[in-house]
Amino acid sequence: MDQRVDLFADHQDIDVVKEIVKRLTIRKRSKRPQATWIAHVENAEKLVRTLAMTGLAVCVILGLLSRTFDSYPLAETMLVMSLLVILLFLAMLISPIVVSVPFFRTMYKNPFVSLLENLDDASSLDLPMVLELMRCKREAVEYVLTHYRHQRLAFEKRGMMLAGSLDKIGFFPTLVAFAMLMIPAWAHLDRRIQDFALLVPVFHFINLLSYGLNQEMDRVISLLEYSIAARDRIDKLLR
């Protein structure tokens, strides 16, 4: 019995794995040299993103205050702020399109260059940490993997509760469906419903932004599973 207990990971083993997983999750690739105009566009995008998130927070506060005090001026102010926030988020959509022009040009001439560059960067950055995972106790890696996978699913489901599953619906089809639904009924809706309805596309956009985080978490989960499978293959060869 003591031998079976010793095979399981203790807190120290789990902490070591969690530290490696943390580095795997937040690691960033070194930026390649880019044109000056791209840097200006990205700086403008960061400013617009900050203004949009601030405006969204203000809209939520104004919506709560207008409902609490039944204030028509506050509701009108929230409506104007909501329109401004939507315009800011739409402006954020333009920036990636502009920055992606050189990327699509490269894709047209050399379609696999970007894929191979990303593969080279990711494999070089992740390999040392994967080797560290393979030296950790197997039960500790599986334990952390179980919790990490649970947090990944919970993170995705929280976004789906707010805005649905964008990978199945799509962002632009959602906007088109929202417009087709709201435009005919807009004049017949209560003013408070009109105010809050404008926040629906904003929540969809926030869900879109979280998709990149989901991709990074999927990468970490795949590497954890790979380290366990590679360990099993090595153990089988050594027997």
- SS3 string of 1-14? CHHHHHHCCCHHHH
Write down the pLDDT at residue 87: 83
Residue 131: what pLDDT?
92
Q: Which of 56, 64, 107 is nearest to 81 (CA)?
A: 56
pLDDT the model gives residue 5: 47
Q: Taking the chain, what is the end-to-end CA distance rounded to the nearest angstrom? A: 24
Q: For residue 24, give both structure tokens.
A: 């795997």
Burial of residue 206, with CB atoms counted within 10 A of its CB: 0-12 exposed, 13-18 middle, 19 or more buried = middle
Predicted confidence (pLDDT) per residue in 120-150, tens digit: 888 888 999 999 999 888 899 999 999 999 9
pLDDT tens-digit profile of 181-234?
Answer: 667 766 676 767 666 666 666 666 666 667 778 888 999 999 999 999 988 888
Judged against a pLDDT cut of 80, whether residue 154 lies above it is answered with yes
Q: How far, in Å, CA of 239 to CA of 234, rounded?
A: 9
- DSSP 8-state assignment for residue 130: H
As a whole number, mean pLDDT of residues 24-48 equals 74
Which pLDDT band holds residue 21 (cuts at 50, 70, 90)?
very high
Computed over every residue of the chain, the mean pLDDT equals 77
Read off the pLDDT of residues 93-109 as tens digits, 9 standing for 90 and up.
Answer: 777 777 666 666 666 77
Closest CA to 82 of 55, 49, 54: 55
Beta-carbon neighbour count of residue 55 at 10 Å? 20
- Does 69 have pLDDT greater than 50? yes
Give residue 176's identity as a one-letter amino acid code: V
Is the confidence at residue 113, as pLDDT, over 80? no
Q: Tokens standing for 221?
A: 């989960």
Residue 139 tokens, joined: 């039960």
Closest CA to 44 of 86, 95, 82, 85: 95
Helix (H, G, I), strand (E, B) or coil at 139: helix
What's the pLDDT band for 169 if we cut at 50, 70, 90?
low
pTM (predicted TM-score)? 0.58
Q: Does position 15 have pLDDT exceeding 60, yes or no?
A: yes
Tokens of 179: 């417009």
Please determine, for residue 167, whether its predicted confidence score (pLDDT) is greater than 70. no
C-alpha to C-alpha distance for 167 and 136, rounded to whole angstroms:
35
Report whether pLDDT(238) > 90: no
**Tokens of residue 171, six digits:** 């962002």
Q: Assess whether pLDDT exceeds 60 at residue 6.
A: no
